[in-house]
Structure 1
Amino acid sequence: MHERHHDNAPERYIGLMSGTSLDGIDAALVEFPSDAVPRLAATHAVTMPQALREALLAVCHAEKVSFAQLAAAEEGFCQLQADAVNALLRQQALSPSDIRAVGSHGQTIEHAPQGHNGGPAYTLQLDNPSRLAELTGCRVVADFRRRDLAAGGQAAPLAPAFHQALFQSPTEARVVLNLGGFANVTWLPPGDAPPLGFDTGPANVLLDAWFQRHQKGAFDRDGKWAAGGNVDAALLARLLSEPFFHQPPPRSTGRERFHLPWLERHLSGQESPQAVQATLAELTAKSVAQGVKHLLKEKAFTLIIAGGGAHNGDLCQRLARLLPQATLSTPDAWGWPADWIEAGAFAWLAHRRLHYLPSNLPSVTGAAGPRVLGGVYAP
Structure 2
Amino acid sequence: MAELFIGLMSGTSLDGVDGVLADFANGGIAVQGYAAAPFPMGLRAELMGLNSAGGNELHRAALAGNELARVYARVVQQLLEDAGVEAAAVAAIGAHGQTVRHRPGEFDEVGYTLQINNPSLIAELTGIAVVADFRSRDLAAGGQGAPLVPGFHSALFARDDQPVAVLNIGGIANLSLLPAGSGTVLGFDCGPGNALIDHWCQTHIGQPYDAGGQWAASGRVLPDLLARLLADPYFAKAPPKSTGRDLFNPTWLAAQLGSPDARPADIQATLTELTASSCAAHLLRHGAGSQTLIVCGGGALNQHLMARLRALLPAVEVVSSAERGLPPQEVEAAAFAWLARRTLRGEPGNLASVTGARESRVLGAIWPA
TM-score range, shorter chain: over 0.9
Instruction: Specify the alignment match of 1:213 in structure 2.
Output: 203
Deviation at 1:63, TM superposition (A): 3.7
Contact kept, 8 Å, 1:40 with 1:335, in 2: the verdict is no
Question: How high is the sequence identity, in percent, across the aligned residues?
Answer: 45
Q: Quote the Cα distance in structure 1 between the aligned partners of 2:195 and 2:366.
A: 31
Q: Quote the Cα distance in structure 2 between the aligned partners of 1:138 and 1:325.
A: 46
Contact kept, 8 Å, 1:306 with 1:341, in 2: the verdict is yes
Instruction: Specify the alignment match of 1:6 in structure 2.
Output: none
1:139-172 superposed Cα distances (whole Å, 9 cap, x missing partner) = 0011100000110000000000000000110001
1:16 aligns with 2:11: no
Instruction: Specify the alignment match of 1:152 in structure 2.
Output: 142
Contact kept, 8 Å, 1:300 with 1:325, in 2: the verdict is no
1:274 aligns with 2:272: no
Q: Helix, strand or coil for the counterpart of 1:161?
A: helix
Contact kept, 8 Å, 2:131 with 2:366, in 1: the verdict is yes
1:261 aligns with 2:251: yes
Which of the residues 18, 29, 38 maps onto 2:21? Answer: 29
Q: Quote the Cα distance in structure 1 between the aligned partners of 2:209 and 2:284.
A: 28
Structure 1 gap segments, 5+ residues each: 1-8
1:369 aligns with 2:329: no
Contact kept, 8 Å, 1:207 with 1:281, in 2: the verdict is yes
Structure 2 gap segments, 5+ residues each: none
Q: Which moved more, 1:212-221 or 1:243-252?
A: 212-221
Contact kept, 8 Å, 1:175 with 1:304, in 2: the verdict is yes
Instruction: Specify the alignment match of 1:90 in structure 2.
Output: 81
Which of the residues 232, 237, 245 maps onto 2:235? Answer: 245
1:75 aligns with 2:84: no
Letter in 2 for 1:38: I
Q: How many residues align?
A: 368
Distance 1:119 1:368, change over 3 A: closer
1:56 aligns with 2:47: yes
Q: Quote the Cα distance in structure 1 between the aligned partners of 2:57 and 2:186.
A: 39
Q: Quote the Cα distance in structure 2 between the aligned partners of 1:90 and 1:334.
A: 27
1:233-271 superposed Cα distances (whole Å, 9 cap, x missing partner) = 110111011110111000000011011111111114222
Which of the residues 332, 341, 366 maps onto 2:331? Answer: 341
Distance 1:234 1:169, change over 3 A: same
1:325 aligns with 2:312: no
Q: Helix, strand or coil for the counterpart of 1:112?
A: strand
1:142 aligns with 2:157: no
1:97-132 superposed Cα distances (whole Å, 9 cap, x missing partner) = 11000000000010000224x585000001111111
Instruction: Specify the alignment match of 2:221 in structure 1.
Output: 231
Instruction: Specify the alignment match of 2:106 in structure 1.
Output: 115
Contact kept, 8 Å, 2:18 with 2:333, in 1: the verdict is yes
Q: Helix, strand or coil for the counterpart of 1:60?
A: coil
Deviation at 1:334, TM superposition (A): 3.1
Instruction: Specify the alignment match of 1:179 in structure 2.
Output: 169
Q: Helix, strand or coil for the counterpart of 1:88?
A: helix
Q: Which moved more, 1:299-308 or 1:271-280?
A: 299-308
Deviation at 1:70, TM superposition (A): 1.7
Letter in 2 for 1:65: N
Q: Helix, strand or coil for the counterpart of 2:162?
A: coil
Deviation at 1:47, TM superposition (A): 1.1
Q: Quote the Cα distance in structure 1 between the aligned partners of 2:162 and 2:32.
A: 27
The alignment's C-alpha RMSD in Å is: 1.2
Instruction: Specify the alignment match of 1:307 in structure 2.
Output: 297
Instruction: Specify the alignment match of 2:117 in structure 1.
Output: 127
Letter in 2 for 1:41: Q
TM-score (norm 2): 0.97
Letter in 2 for 1:288: C
Q: Quote the Cα distance in structure 1 between the aligned partners of 2:127 and 2:248.
A: 37
Contact kept, 8 Å, 1:59 with 1:65, in 2: the verdict is no
Letter in 2 for 1:25: V
Letter in 2 for 1:11: E
